[in-house]
Structure formats: structure tokens, C-alpha cells
Chains A and B, each alone.
Chain A
Amino acid sequence: MVRVDMKKLINEPGAVVDEMLDGMVAAYPEALARLDGTNVLVRADAPVEGKVGIVSGGGSGHEPTHAGYIGDGMLDGAAAGEVFTSPTADQLGEMIQACDAGEGVLCVVKNYEGDVMNFETGIELAEMESDVEVTYVVVDDDVAVEDSLYTSGRRGVCGTIFVHKAAGAKAAQGGDLAEVERVAQKVVDRVGTMGMALTSCTTPEKGEPTFDLPEDEIELGIGIHGEPGIERTEVMDADSVTEHLTERVLEDLELDAGARVATIVNGMGGTPQMELFVVNRRLQEILGERDIETWDAWVGDYMTSLDMAGCSITLLELDDELEELLSHPVETPALTVRDD
């Protein structure tokens, strides 16, 4: 049933996730496979012999997160929940087993209560049914709020992509489970993100914006589910928004002159690339003014919130190890890094 107040390219609201996953596999048939009867996508060649498995998962609506990062050098599996809803523990358990080649599995979990509880239970299920060794890290990079509608503590947002990248590279290089976990935690400890919204987002089931944001206002510190941010202000220009977000992240990470970072200017799903690059221009100016060196700058839609317009800024403080891991070649639907 299509509602007249919602113009969307969907069929049945309840079938969106299922149809999206089939469409992804159809786009990358050589790279991706769907575990039968689940909403889990895995590498077509999973489990990869001699390698620690790296898996993630979460509610849908954040594409290309997470399945878009499945591939050599990044994730082995990704579980999709319903829109903005945690995947269920039984499917997470199946994914863990499917991605275990005997070297163990690391789960990368964004900090939301439902996600954490379901991953913990999924790990228990996998351990009951096999002798897989599993560990997990919880990503909580959102510097905006301490507690939110869906979390105790900070939310996990776009910084998760750096965790996928570093842990995936370490696993591809033959790191054991403990080393892969250490690297993932190192990223978690050094990454910060702050987001903002120009508009709300529309979930397929609800068919209307999840919150009201007047035409002349924006919301700072917003999460990736349309949950409230920390401050609602009048519309500001791109440079002012960029300064607000960047200052907050810099303050949180306590970055000093001479630091080296990787940055992401992330679109929330409904933001033109043009605007993201405008934001990135000012971000790099600010870092330059503070004598902070940007080693690499990513700009694009990495962790979205359906059709929300807005962006987030992520900074990761690098050291030689992380720089080397981020440089490791990767080939996934959403991210490609090649040997220089």
C-alpha cells in the first residue's frame, strides 16, 4: 500500500529490506552472497581460510553501511535489521558461524542498546553451537551526546567505517584475533564524529518525517535515526556549520598542533555531493590553521540516515600503524583503496 503523502521508490514498506538485499546481491553477484533465510550478506567466498572473520550489523537505513563494506580487506559479513532496528541474535549467530574459518571472529558493534544486546546474545548462540572464538568491540564515536534515545553512553556513528577498515586490513594481513581486536579498539579510542541535520528522514513504515524541523532551522548533534540532537538553531551557512562540528570533535579528541588525522565528511543520505565538498573545503582549512595534518580526506555517503539532508564530520587521530592499515588495499561496493 503506497501512501500518497510519501513519494518513495518502494513496494511494500515491510519488504524494503528483503528487496534491497536481493538487489545488492544482484549488483555484486561475484562478491556477495545471502545466507539462506536470513538478512545476512557475506563474502561469496566466506569463510576465508587462514583469516580472522570481521563482521558487523545494525538496523537498515544507513546504507552503504554495513553490507557495502563487505570485501577483501574489510568485512566478511553484515547483518541487516529492519529499518532502524537491530538485527536479531539468531541471525547474528548464524553470520558469526558462517564467517569463521577457525581463526575466530571479531564483531564490530555500534553502541545502541538493542544492537549490543543482540550481538551479545548472538555470540552466545554461536558459541553454543560451535567452538568459534568470538570477540567484539563497541564503537561510540558520537561526541554530541552522552546518552540518547537509543543508548547508554555515546552513539556509534560514522567512525565505525574506520574501525571496519583498520580491523579488516589487520585481518587481511594475517593478524590473529587479539591483534585485530586491539587495532579495532585503538580506532574506537581515537575517533570522534559530530553530525547535523537540515531535514528529518522518512521511514518506510511510518511514511512521514520522524521529527519536525522547521524550514528555517537546523539541528546540531543529531544521530543517525532522526533522534534529537543537542541544539536547534537558525539556518547557518556551510562554513559556520563546519566550524561548529569540527570544533566540537577537535575539543573531544584533544588534538594538538602536529597531529595527523584521517577525515570523513559524510552525507546523511539526502545531501548533494556539491555541499559535502563545500564542507570539506572549510574542514581542511580549519585543520590547516591549527597545524593538524590531514593524511587522507574521504567525502561521500558512508553512514546515512535514509533521506535525511545533513552531514557529519569524523576525525581519526592516526599513528604509523593506523596509517598503514588505512592504506591497505580494499575492494568493496562502497569503498575502494588501491596500492599507490
Chain B
Amino acid sequence: MAETDTQREAVLTAVERVTDRIAEEKGHLTDLDSAIGDADHGANLDRGFGKALAAVEDSEDDPAEIVKTVGVTLVSAVGGASGPLYGGSIMTASQELEGGITADSSVAFAEAYLKKVKDRGGARIGDKTMVDALTPAVHTYKKSIEEDELSPVTALSKAVDAAERGVRFTTPIRANKGRASYLGWRSVGHPDPGATSTLYIMEELLAVASEYCEGDVETDAEADQSPEETPGEGAE
């Protein structure tokens, strides 16, 4: 199979796995959002990824184009502020993958995604948002690849760990951004739903990356593609 075909297959598998996982966690995400938001996070993401999967299933496009289509579909199908945050950021970051998915381009994707989420949403670390999971994950991924020269799968695995710690970090802090911020101190004690869904998405990307990079051999296609989607989808 040509490299592009493998990458396409891996991207499509990732979209499928993420969609399934969000569907499984829909109720849980909604519960989390009921505590500190408006109880629609699970349903909105589930609807969004369902439509995104339908939009790219059986696609013959380049991997970057598929990722972009996922972003564009999420923008409209998720709606509200989450649409631009999750989908718009994937849409913008997908440009980094146009030359193919490599370790380097996956880092560029992750960074572009994080930047867009922060620029658009205006949240910083400690505001109790998806940024709290995404920032350490992207930084860890970049350092693992560029400085520690780890394989993309190992790097992604470390990024998932970092995101998990980021989610735990959101629990005891007070929200400063998004709807939860209107609860003030009452937002303390609940994990952030956006950070949580970000983690779920990254976990699925890691699983797919591992499958496609069996033995952790550094074949660009597999490793990269998971990070690309990871930051993107997780980012709300």
C-alpha cells in the first residue's frame, strides 16, 4: 500500500474510533457538563463526530483534506462555541499536514491547533478549560519528538499522560472561562468536560497510532496521524 493510502486508512480509523468513544462517553460527558455547564457537551460532540464520520467515510481524499473536512463538519455540526473551538482549530491546523503526515508535521499540527484554540477562545492555563489538558499534552509531545527523539507513538503516549494530569488539574480549580465561570466557586470540585473529552480523543488516537506503528517502528504515517487529530479534537 502506498504511504498516502496507509495514512488515509489510519486517519479514517482514528475518526471512527474517536466517534465511537465519544458516543460511549456521551452520557458521562453530559453529566460532567450538567454539573458546571449547560449539559449539552456530550450530545453536541456526539452529533458532531457522527456527522464528521459520515462526511469522510469512504473518502479517497488526501489525509490532510480528510482532516480538514472533519474540522469543517465539526464547526457546523457541533455548533455554539464548541464548533469553532474543536472544528475550526482542526480546520486551520490541517494545513500543516498538506505535505503528508510525518513526525514533524504532526508536531506542527498540534502546535497550530493549540494556538488556534487559545487565540479563539481566549483561555489560558488555569482557567479550567480544554486548554489545561491540551497545553501540557502538546508541549510534551513536541519535546518528546524534537528533544528526546522518541518515536511518535511513545511521544503520544507521554502526551496522553500529560493530558490526564491536566484533566485532574481542572477538578480543584475555579473556572475563569466559559459558562462554568458564572458558577464562581461552585465550579470547584468538578473536572472540566472539555478537558475530559480532549483526553478521550487523545486516548483513541494513541490506540490507533499504536496499531499502525506496530513494534513502535517509526513509520511516519501512523505516528503522526494520531497527534494530528489529538490536539484538534481534544481541544475544546
A binds B: yes
By the criterion CB–CB under 8 Å, are A91 and B120 in contact? no
B182 touches A121 (CB 8 A): no
Given contacts A89-B88, A117-B120, A120-B120, is CB(A125)–CB(B80) below 8 Å?
no
**Interface band, chain B:** 10 to 19
Contact present for A91 and B84 (CB under 8 Å)? no
List CB contacts (< 8 Å) of A88-118 with chain B. Answer: 88-91, 113-114, 117-118
A152 near B122 with CB under 8 A, answer yes
> Which B43-93 residues sit within 8 Å CB-CB of chain A?
72, 75-76, 79-81, 83-85, 87-88, 91-92
On chain B, the residues within 8 Å of A125 by CB distance are 72, 75, 91
- B27 CB within 8 Å of chain A: no
Beta-carbon contact of A124 and B83 below 8 Å: no
Q: Is A85 an interface residue (CB 8 A)?
A: yes
Which residue among B83, B91, B179 has the maximum number of chain A CB atoms within 10 Å of its CB?
Answer: B83
Q: Is the Cβ of A149 less than 8 Å from the Cβ of B121?
A: no
Secondary structure of the B contact surface, majority rule = helix
Please tell me if the beta carbons of B92 and A88 are within 8 angstroms of each other in the complex. no
Judge if A305 is at the interface, Cβ distance under 8 Å.
no
Tell whether, in the assembled complex, residue A117 and residue B91 are in contact, meaning their CB atoms are under 8 Å apart: no
Contact present for B88 and A117 (CB under 8 Å) = yes
A118 & B83 in contact (Cβ 8 Å cutoff): yes
Q: Which of A67-95 contact B (CB under 8 A)?
A: 85-86, 88-91
Q: Is the CB of B122 within 8 A of A120?
A: no
Are A121 and B122 in touch, CB under 8 angstroms? no
Residue of B nearest to A86 (CB): B80
Judge whether B79 and A88 touch: CB under 8 Å: yes
How distant is the Cα of A91 from the Cα of B84 in the complex, in angstroms?
12
Q: A91–B79 Cα gap in the complex (Å)?
A: 11
Q: Specify the chain A residue showing the minimal Cβ separation from B178.
A: A113
CA A40 – CA B6 in complex, angstroms?
A: 40
Q: Which of A85, A88, A90, A121 contacts B120 (CB 8 A)?
A: A121
Whether the pair B83, A89 counts as a contact (CB closer than 8 A) is: yes
CB distance from A157 to the nearest CB of B (A): 19
Q: Is B80 within 8 A of A121, CB to CB?
A: no
Whole-angstrom distance between the Cβ of B147 and the nearest chain A Cβ: 32
Q: Which residues of B contact A88 (CB under 8 A)?
A: 75-76, 79, 83
Q: Are B81 and A149 in contact (CB under 8 A)?
A: no
Contact partners of B91 in chain A: CB under 8 A: 121, 124-125, 128
A117 close to B92 (CB less than 8 A): no
Output the least CB separation between A161 and chain B (Å): 25
Q: In the docked arrangement, what's the CA distance between A86 and B81, Å?
A: 8
Minimum CB–CB distance for A226 against chain B, Å: 14
Interchain CB contact under 8 A, B80 and A90: no
Provide the residues of chain B in CB contact with A117, threshold 8 Å.
81, 84-85, 88, 120-121
Q: How far is the CA of A317 from the CA of B178 in the complex (A)?
A: 34
Query: How would residues 158 to 184 of chain B score, 1 for a CB under 8 Å from any chain A CB and 0 otherwise?
Result: 000000000000000000000100100
| In contact, A118 and B122 (Cβ under 8 angstroms) | no
Q: Whole-angstrom distance between the alpha carbons of A114 and B121 in the complex?
A: 9
A89 touches B120 (CB 8 A): no
The closest CB in chain B to the CB of A228 belongs to B182
Given A124-B92, A152-B122, residue A90 in contact with residue B84 (CB < 8 A): no
- Given A89-B84, A152-B122, the answer on whether A121 and B79 have CB atoms closer than 8 Å is no
Q: How far is the CB of A121 from chain B (nearest CB, A)?
A: 4
Q: Are A121 and B81 in contact (CB under 8 A)?
A: no
Given contacts A120-B120, A124-B88, A152-B122, contact A114 B80 (CB under 8 A): yes
**In the assembled complex, how far is the CB of residue A213 from the closest CB belonging to chain B, in whole angstroms?**
19
Chain A proximity mask over B86-126: 1 for CB below 8 Å, otherwise 0: 01100110000000000000000000000000001110000
Kindly list chain A residues whose C-beta atoms are within 8 Å of the C-beta of B182. 149
Q: Using Cβ atoms and an 8 Å threshold, which residues of chain A touch B87?
A: 89, 121
- Nearest residue (CB) in B for A118 is B84
Taking a contact as CB atoms under 8 Å apart, the answer to whether A113 and B83 are in contact is no
Separation in Å of the B40 CB from the closest CB of chain A? 11
For residue B84, which residues in chain A have a CB less than 8 angstroms away from its CB? 89, 117-118, 120-121
Contacts A/B (CB < 8 Å), 18 sampled = A85-B80, A86-B81, A88-B75, A89-B76, A89-B83, A90-B76, A113-B81, A117-B81, A118-B83, A120-B120, A121-B75, A121-B83, A121-B87, A121-B88, A124-B91, A124-B92, A125-B75, A152-B122
Lowest 3 CB-CB distances: which A-B pairs, in order?
A121-B88, A90-B76, A117-B84
Known: A88-B76, A117-B85. 16 other contacts (CB 8 A): A85-B79, A88-B83, A89-B84, A89-B87, A113-B81, A114-B80, A117-B84, A118-B81, A121-B75, A121-B83, A121-B88, A121-B91, A124-B88, A125-B91, A128-B91, A149-B179
Measured CB to CB, the residues of A under 8 A from B are 85-86, 88-91, 113-114, 117-118, 120-121, 124-125, 128, 149, 152
